[in-house]
A and B are shown apart, each in its own frame.
Chain A
């Protein structure tokens, strides 16, 4: 058996059915292995999107997903996607071909030091120098990617190692033993008791849920916890979907792009339980202010404790397990008056959103779209104004809201939505994207069509790089520089070129009709909604 055949065997052992990739000579032996296997290969149009598509796939399947690239430029193109996945703790296995091991370090054609280049963007990386190491390396890579705080793992494999015959017979290891990696964290019983004590005594506790809740599969248990003890919840952008938007205990997204009443709730709480959130600058601009009240910080990653927020009561461990334990603890159910107070705040917070009559109002657009979407729909928001309008207005039901919160990588939504849709072809999947990001990712329309992926793409067009324009408006006296996209391309022609059904919408009055058309029937569609360029998020 060759190294390449062993790689395929490893993927099969991990029950991998789809890989996203872009071939080249240095990874050709692996592709020969794919040719002889049942694993489906989705050819993307640029390597970065192989990573994003795998990210969408991993988030929906809640398992590591695989992307494959060749050496040199193929591999370096993938780096942005790795950084994106790393920032959002998404489990990916990235396989990159490498020049033959005897040529390593000689700067031969298409050689790039991938381990060195990706060091700060991956959870771990391997350069495989011996084909007999392949089973162990793959086993470890999948284990590292999917345990503890999840993240991408790179496996760089020289071409000659893929071609080499294994000396030993292939055996995929049953277990992993890595001296320096022990992700099973035993929950500290003393800390847990302290946390339970604080929760019991608090009169106005508030949960702040981050993306870690979803990554740790903790949505159900947190919902039960909130309901049992009558504890309200706010969430970060990555924590959207922990509770449905209209759940009576959900007080919305916090942060400088969130709901003012969610931020006020943080101010009113006497105990804040931060769960699976790093409390980065976008969520809480001045985390040092939090020290005025008790803060419990629950996270799987010890290093997150105290990184951005001062002294807290830390509780490190698996979030689902922690909340399950707390669910059975003696905690007094909180008074309805606390919820009523928050409802009052919510009612009395002036909604600063200005609903525009000119063209399509983006807030109304997202609201109407989400009302019309089925319960379990997947909504993939790109980056920019469209992301903030989406997060602010999306009426989350029981589905998923995917976006890149950490890195904010433009063009994420289309490839990620392709990956997401492949996991659940029966679920309605919508990518919402601006005209800037669309032009970064529109090459993937071919991937979508090639594989008959029934995506619905909603393009919010204002003919500008809107969020930067908005920034220039507020910070540089409206000196708009380098942000004008103008009228190109003609999206109807793009749709035609890729064989997509196409519609445009230019007023609020047409919205219902156009959205119904957008969501109905079969087959990928592109709906372009024109938004006034002066329509800012803030």
Chain B
């Protein structure tokens, strides 16, 4: 199963490594991790997604809660929250497939940020599963480089 955790932490040095270390030490997997300051500069917000069985997901929540620098842990369900991921992707094109590529981007609401002689630099943000699908399509064209933010999520 998939676990989505929205975690408020102290915005201090060492906290990120403490949180990621907790996953490493217990053999939990981090699928995505996104971190940023909140409106309060002393507090950062993390969205962590992980996969595992029920016991693992429960343990992740409990072990996160044990960390002194972790202020609050919320487990989000993907049905009751908004999940988004943003991506920058460089995709190769040639004269014959450029038009369908641009049309596909328009259809999906992706933005072409730069047109270079051999590639397009595209920005796309959407629900994580749509991002996955988008990548699958882009593989057909040839992906040169990809940068993903990881999931950010918020309860509805």
Q: Which A residues are within 8 Å of any B CB, using their own CB?
A: 115-116, 119-120, 123-125, 127, 144, 178-181, 301-303, 305-307
CB pair A303–B63 under 8 Å, yes or no, is yes
CB pair B67–A180 under 8 Å, yes or no, is yes
Q: For the complex, what is the distance from the CA of A178 to the CA of B10, rounded to whole Å?
A: 10
Count of interface residues, chain B, beta-carbon cutoff 8 Å: 21
Question: Assuming A179-B10, A180-B70, A305-B62, what are 8 further A-B pairs, CB within 8 angstroms?
Answer: A119-B21, A123-B68, A125-B14, A127-B14, A302-B62, A303-B63, A303-B65, A306-B59
Q: For the complex, what is the distance from the CA of A233 to the CA of B58, rounded to whole Å?
A: 30
21 contacts between A and B (CB under 8 A): A116-B17, A119-B17, A119-B18, A119-B21, A120-B25, A123-B68, A124-B69, A125-B14, A144-B68, A178-B68, A179-B71, A180-B70, A181-B68, A302-B62, A302-B65, A303-B62, A303-B65, A305-B62, A306-B58, A306-B59, A307-B59
Interface residues of B in 1-60 (CB under 8 A from A): 9-10, 13-14, 17-18, 21, 25, 55, 58-59
Cβ contact of A180, chosen from B13, B63, B68, cutoff 8 A: B68
Determine the chain B residues whose CB is within 8 A of the CB of A123 once the complex forms.
68
CB pair A115–B59 under 8 Å, yes or no, is no
CB pair A124–B68 under 8 Å, yes or no, is yes
Determine the chain B residues whose CB is within 8 A of the CB of A124 once the complex forms.
68-69
Would you call B118 an interface residue if the criterion is a C-beta within 8 Å of the partner chain's C-beta atoms?
Answer: no
Q: For the complex, what is the distance from the CA of A316 to the CA of B2, rounded to whole Å?
A: 26
- Name the 7 nearest CB pairs between A and B, nearest first: A303-B62, A124-B68, A180-B71, A181-B68, A179-B71, A120-B25, A180-B70
Q: Quick one: closest A residue to B13, CB to CB?
A: A127
Would you call B80 an interface residue if the criterion is a C-beta within 8 Å of the partner chain's C-beta atoms?
Answer: no
Given A179-B10, A306-B55, A306-B58, A301-B66 contact (CB < 8 Å): yes
Give A146 Cβ to nearest chain B Cβ, in Å.
14
Give B2 Cβ to nearest chain A Cβ, in Å.
19
Give B10 Cβ to nearest chain A Cβ, in Å.
7
Determine the chain B residues whose CB is within 8 A of the CB of A125 once the complex forms.
14
Determine the chain B residues whose CB is within 8 A of the CB of A180 once the complex forms.
9-10, 67-72
Q: For the complex, what is the distance from the CA of A302 to the CA of B64, rounded to whole Å?
A: 11
Cβ contact of B14, chosen from A115, A178, A179, A301, cutoff 8 A: A115
Q: For the complex, what is the distance from the CA of A263 to the CA of B20, rounded to whole Å?
A: 39
Interface residues of B in 93-147 (CB under 8 A from A): none
CB pair B66–A303 under 8 Å, yes or no, is yes
Give B51 Cβ to nearest chain A Cβ, in Å.
19
Q: For the complex, what is the distance from the CA of A127 to the CA of B71, rounded to whole Å?
A: 19
Cβ contact of A120, chosen from B21, B55, B62, cutoff 8 A: B21
Q: For the complex, what is the distance from the CA of A313 to the CA of B15, rounded to whole Å?
A: 33
Determine the chain A residues whose CB is within 8 A of the CB of B18 once the complex forms.
119
Q: Quick one: closest A residue to B24, CB to CB?
A: A120
Give B117 Cβ to nearest chain A Cβ, in Å.
43
Determine the chain A residues whose CB is within 8 A of the CB of B58 once the complex forms.
306
Determine the chain A residues whose CB is within 8 A of the CB of B59 once the complex forms.
303, 306-307
Q: For the complex, what is the distance from the CA of A306 to the CA of B10, rounded to whole Å?
A: 28
Q: For the complex, what is the distance from the CA of A124 to the CA of B22, rounded to whole Å?
A: 12
Q: Quick one: closest A residue to B9, CB to CB?
A: A180
Q: For the complex, what is the distance from the CA of A305 to the CA of B61, rounded to whole Å?
A: 12
Determine the chain A residues whose CB is within 8 A of the CB of B70 once the complex forms.
180
Q: Quick one: closest B residue to A120, CB to CB?
A: B25
Give A243 Cβ to nearest chain B Cβ, in Å.
30
Q: For the complex, what is the distance from the CA of A144 to the CA of B65, rounded to whole Å?
A: 14
Q: Quick one: closest B residue to A148, CB to CB?
A: B66
Give A114 Cβ to nearest chain B Cβ, in Å.
11
